[in-house]
Structure 1
Amino acid sequence: MKRILVIGASRGIGLEVTRQALERGFTVRAMARSADKIALDSERLEPVPGDATDPADLRPALEGVDAVILALGVPKNLDFITKPVALFSTATQALLPLMSAAGVRRLLAVTGFGAGESSERLSLAERLPFRAVMGRAYDDKTRQEELIKASDLDWTIVRPGILTNGPHTGRYKVLTEKADWRNGIISRADVADFLLNALEADSHVGAAPVLVR
């Protein structure tokens, strides 16, 4: 597997995936609205400015890729706290049929601890502040997960805990059993490490593990 499409590649986990994938020898098609500002220098980097919710932008970005890593983050402003959020589900709804049509079967998508059934593992002390701050975004991440699980793709959903800008350590826990799911911290760089490991090993297909340090 040599060429991947990273959606949300200009910052956060997507940028870390792009950086580490280039180090591992991948060709990376890096899609983001500000893709032309990605400060990485490699002949195997293909910046693709585009809107992740627009099929007209997604369709050509999928041409010739072997897999997709979907790593959209919440907006930098705080609108997601007070306004409806639909970015994650809208982008996913646009992407899935285009992947099927293009014959691209492997999808790794980042949501977060608190999305889907992992919300049941939030402690009582976590639940109220989490809902107040992240509730709208994570309701949409839950819709995103439902769309992915209903697809016929070879999907992996990745649910990191609280994200930090810490270093790439390679030392973190991959919690696959619901009884073990818990919140915790993990660096964006280590989430990227897991995504690329799962892609290279073709592991965790049809699974939605929680990642914490």
Structure 2
Amino acid sequence: MDVTLSSTHSVSLTKLSLYTAKLPRWLFRWGSLDIDGDKKSILNKIEAMAFRLLYSEMIEDKRKELQLLQTSRLDWTLVRLLFIKEHRKSQAIKEDAFDMPGFNISSRDIARFMIEQIHNSSYIGKTPFISN
């Protein structure tokens, strides 16, 4: 199985278009992108509004990138999180399909989650939130 793990916050639409034509599975990590169907808490709704106001161009790019993934024939997972905060040890990973379960996660735990998803099909075509 060929897998590409992307841990960048931004991928150009041109590169994404080229990659999606070739890859059978792609896992992404992006900031807290607001998606139809989310059931966010009041606090997370405020956070999402702030991100849209402060980073409107980036959020619009993320929305376009998601649309490309959704119309591709790839098996993809778009992992959403808020802030990266390093911890001395790996911690439990909280997952939620509709709302951010916490405010930060370590890069070690992001990597562990993404690697675990290589052989787990439960989030293919989905956009889970993760945190510690």
Superposed pair shares fold, TM > 0.5: yes
Specify which of 146, 152, 168 is matched with residue 73 of structure 2.
152
**Runs of 4+ deviating beyond 4 Å:** none
Cα distance change of structure 1 residues 129 and 168 upon mapping to structure 2, 3 Å threshold? same
Q: Distance in 2 between matches of 1:199 and 1:110?
A: 14
For residues 145-181 of structure 1, what are the alpha-carbon distances to aligned partners after superposition, in whole Å with 9 as ceiling and x for unaligned?
11111111111111112222334514121102x2xx0
For residues 81-124 of structure 1, what are the alpha-carbon distances to aligned partners after superposition, in whole Å with 9 as ceiling and x for unaligned?
xxxxxx4433211211132xxxxx12111222234337773423
Specify which of 143, 147, 171 is matched with residue 92 of structure 2.
171
Count how many residue pairs are aligned between Structure 1 and Structure 2.
128
Identity fraction in percent: 22
Q: Distance in 1 between matches of 2:64 and 2:6?
A: 15
User: Conserved in 2, the CA contact under 8 Å of 1:106 and 1:154?
Assistant: yes
User: Conserved in 1, the CA contact under 8 Å of 2:32 and 2:48?
Assistant: no
Specify which of 14, 32, 49 is matched with residue 90 of structure 1.
14
The unaligned stretches of length 5 or more in structure 1 are 2-65, 75-86, 100-104
Comparing both structures, which one devotes a greater share of its residues to helix? 1
Q: Distance in 1 between matches of 2:12 and 2:39?
A: 21
SS of corresponding position for 1:117: coil
Aligned-CA RMSD value? 2.4
Cα distance change of structure 1 residues 112 and 153 upon mapping to structure 2, 3 Å threshold? same
Specify which of 191, 201, 209 is matched with residue 110 of structure 2.
191
User: Higher Cα Rg: structure 1 or 2?
Assistant: 1
For residues 42-92 of structure 1, what are the alpha-carbon distances to aligned partners after superposition, in whole Å with 9 as ceiling and x for unaligned?
xxxxxxxxxxxxxxxxxxxxxxxx111122235xxxxxxxxxxxx443321
